[in-house]
Amino acid sequence: MDSNIQSNSYKLIDMKYITNQTGLTDKWFYKLIQLNQFPKPIKLGRSSRWLESDFNSWLQNKINQSKLPK
């Protein structure tokens, strides 16, 4: 195990969590991934997971962008 990674430092989330938090579809997020507008998943076998911190950063950026004057 990498010495830079400490146990319990990273929480992994799945697409169900992401779609439940945002109300958007999984197809929408996979399109954003193709456009490099959403973090790429961490592949664990056939499963895809994301770092919760990456998702939260992406979401906060979207919130901040929505508050900018147009």
Give the residue extent of every domain in the chain: 12-65
pLDDT band at 69 (very low <50, low <70, confident <90, very high): confident
Residue 30 is predicted with a pLDDT of 97
As a CATH number, domain 12-65 is: 1.10.238
Asked whether the whole model's pTM tops 0.85, one would answer no
Question: Interior CA angle at 42 toward 56 and 1, to 5°?
Answer: 105
What pLDDT does residue 9 have?
Answer: 72
In terms of Cβ atoms closer than 10 Å to its own Cβ (0-12, 13-18, 19+), residue 29 is buried
